[in-house]
Amino acid sequence: MKLAVSGKGGVGKTTFAALLIKALSEQGMRILAIDADPDANLATALGIYDAQSIVPIADMKDLIKERTGAEVGSIGTFFKLNPKVDDLPEKCSVKIDNIKFMRLGGVKKGGGGCICPASTMLKALVHHVLLARDEVVVMDMEAGIEHLARGTAAAMDRLIVVVEPGRRSIETAQNIKRLAREIGLEKVYLVGNKIRGNEDQTFLQEHATGFNWLGFLPYDDDIIKADLQGKSPYDLDTRAKEIVRKMVHTFIEDDAFRQHIHSHEHTHSHSHEHVHGDAAHAHGHTHIHVHDHGHFDFLQSPDHGKNHTHENTHGSDHGPHDHEHKTPDNGHDK
């Protein structure tokens, strides 16, 4: 399961991301939590001790030079576009409960963008964790989605945009959706936060159109106090915590029953004998059946498609002759 959380500054994006990560961890899942927002405070929201001492990967100049072959900030030099990053989630993370936490940091841009050793390594790392890691990945992102690229967009199960009652928040959500579509990411969902009543929820539903809604979290002074005190909002018994827990159960169910492909192979062999005149001929037959099953969410359809391929190998102790062999009907399409 790969999830990204985005939204305008101040809407409670990181608070929601922390609640989501802790709720997933509570289910016994292994989580790789990535703070991809340069204004980083996800570690504090997760309750990680001495969070500010965690060095962002973008600031690890020696590591970037080692992996890319170029100094951070260098101009006009050659560097590797595919640096080694597969060991970084273990090497550069802080662990709490079932959560491994990484801070990416930001890359200072100049001119029309940055194609530099630091940004190249960060994008390679994001590509790796989204496509090659088997744990749950949750990314807390800034209002943009610059760490995502067309090659990794297909791996995202959900891009969740947090909004609060207000037109600027909705405009930011629309911009994020537009950027997501440009890289082929269509799975964009909204979470309403800081909802003070039915009027706030109705305002968001009427003005933030064209989105799928995951839910609405109420305005809560206790969560704001926890943030001011540097505590994790998950340590409090709040309505928001329970709502996010229910979202997580929905995610888990969707992840378990959504369309997936699996393959299996089995073999069976048998022998039989043909008698031609006075000569007896023994034949050995081995049948290899490879099955690809496409399963669909049974809440939508109880059927599932089946594609079967069969490979038969035959061995005999004589030269060619005419005979018929029919594989018994085993219920598979041939």
Q: What is the CATH number of the domain that holds 115?
A: 3.40.50.300
Name the strands in the sheet holding 158-163, side by side, starting at the edge strand that comes first in the sequence: 94-96, 99-103, 31-36, 136-141, 2-6, 158-163, 188-195, 212-218
Q: Is residue 321 in a domain?
A: no
Residue 272 belongs to domain spanning: 263-316
- Check whether residue 277 and residue 231 sit in a common domain: no
Model-level pTM? 0.73
Q: Is residue 47 in a domain?
A: yes
Q: Is residue 327 in a domain?
A: no
Instruction: Check residue 132 and give its pLDDT.
Output: 87
What is the identity of the amino acid at 301?
S
- Check whether residue 51 and residue 107 sit in a common domain: yes
| Three-class SS of 134-200 | CCEEEEEECCCCCCCCHHHHCCCCEEEEEECCCHHHHHHHHHHHHHHHHCCCCCEEEEEEEECCHHH
- Check whether residue 151 and residue 276 sit in a common domain: no
Three-class secondary structure of residue 269 per DSSP: strand
Counting the structural domains of the chain, the total is 2
- Check whether residue 225 and residue 287 sit in a common domain: no
Q: Is residue 329 in a domain?
A: no
Q: Is residue 110 in a domain?
A: yes
- Check whether residue 168 and residue 268 sit in a common domain: no
Instruction: Check residue 314 and give its pLDDT.
Output: 41
Instruction: Check residue 58 and give its pLDDT.
Output: 87
Those residues with Cβ within 8 angstroms of residue 76's Cβ, 6 or more apart along the chain or in another chain: none
Q: Is residue 207 in a domain?
A: yes
Q: Is residue 334 in a domain?
A: no
- Check whether residue 161 and residue 286 sit in a common domain: no
Q: Please report where in the chains the tokens 């933030």 appear, as a residue.
A: 208
- Check whether residue 142 and residue 13 sit in a common domain: yes
Which parts of the chain have pLDDT scores under 50?
109-113, 259-276, 280-283, 285-334
Instruction: Check residue 326 and give its pLDDT.
Output: 40
- Check whether residue 35 and residue 165 sit in a common domain: yes
- Check whether residue 196 and residue 288 sit in a common domain: no
What is the identity of the amino acid at 215?
G
CA distance 171 to 219: 21
Q: Is residue 322 in a domain?
A: no
- Check whether residue 170 and residue 280 sit in a common domain: no
CA distance 209 to 205: 7
- Check whether residue 20 and residue 146 sit in a common domain: yes
Tens of pLDDT along 158-185? 999 999 999 999 999 999 999 999 888 8
Q: Which of 257, 275, 302 is the last residue of a domain?
A: 257
Instruction: Check residue 151 and give its pLDDT.
Output: 76
- Check whether residue 96 and residue 188 sit in a common domain: yes
